[in-house]
Amino acid sequence: MRDLTLLPDLTLALVQTAPVWQNPAASHAHFARLLDQAAGADLVILPEMFATGFSMDAAALAEPEDGPSRAWLLEQAARLNAVVVGSVITQAADGSYRNRLYWARPDGSCAHYDKRHLFRMAGEHEHYAPGTERVMLEIKGWHVRPLVCYDLRFPVWSRDPHDTDLLLYIASWPAARRNPWNRLLPARAIENLCFVAAVNRIGADGNGYPHAGDSQVLDFMGDSLLDAGEAEGVFRITLSAAALAKFRSRFPAWRDADAFELKD
C-alpha cells in the first residue's frame, strides 16, 4: 500500500472558458493566452473537446492521433512544465472516431483515455466509438483517473474507493442539466473517498446550447474546495495528499466496499 503522507501537494489549474466553435487554430490561440495564468501548476485541465466545442461533425473535424491539437497540448505542457489535459476529436488507428482525452506531459510523452459513455441524447454514439479501457495515470505519485462528461452519470465506471486519489472529469455539460452536475460530483467524491476535480465550459455552443461552467474541486467528503461559478478564467487550488491519507485512515469505508468485475 502506498503511503500517501509521503506524497507532495498537487497544484491544479482549472481553465473555464468557451472554445471557439469548430475552429481549432482559434481555440488554441485563445487557450494559450489563458494558460499564461497557469504557470506553476502541476496539472492544467481544459474542458471536453476544447479545440472545437462539443461537435458531432466528427468526419470533418477529426484529427489523426498525432494531430495538431495533441501537438499543441504537448507544447503547452513543455512551456508550463506541467501535465496538460483536454479532449480532442480524434480518428484512431482503426479508423473510428473517438472523443479522446490526452494527458500531455512536459517530457513529450502522452497518454490518453477514450470516453466510454457516449451521450446518445445528442447522437454522440452515432458518430463516435466508445472507449473500452479504464485508465489510471500518475503525477507526482498521485493516482488520477480521467473521465469525460457523461461518464459522470455512471458510478461503476468511476468506482475505486482505495487506489484513486483524484477523479478528474472534463465536460461540455449544458446549463439545462446544471443540477445533476452539481449533485453527482459530490457523490463521486464521497463514494470513492477521494478528491474530485471537474472542468466544464461556459457560453453557448454552435448549436445554441448554453453552458453554466460550475467547474469545481471537492474533497473526499464531497465538500467544496473551489467553485468557479459561471466566470471565465483560470482557477487554482493545491490538494494535500496528507489530508486524504488522514481521512482514509480515520474512516476506512473502502474496506467494506463490494467486489465487482466490469464486463462489456
Rg (CA), the chain: 17
Which residue, among 123, 118, 61, has the nearest Cα to 88 in the 3D structure?
A: 61
Q: Specify whether the CB–CB gap between 49 and 88 falls below 8 A.
A: yes
Residue type, 81: N
Question: CB neighbours (10 Å) of residue 197?
Answer: 26
Reading the block at residue 33, the C-alpha cell is 493566452
Q: Which residues are catalytic?
A: 48, 115, 149
Phi, psi for residue 153 in degrees, rounded to 5 = -75, -5
- Which positions ≥6 away from 179 have C-beta within 8 Å? none
What is the distance between the alpha carbons of residues 216 and 58, in angstroms, rounded to a whole number? 29
β partners of residue 98:
90
- In this structure, the dihedral spanned by the alpha carbons of residues 250, 9, 185 and 170, taken in order and rounded to 10 degrees, is -150
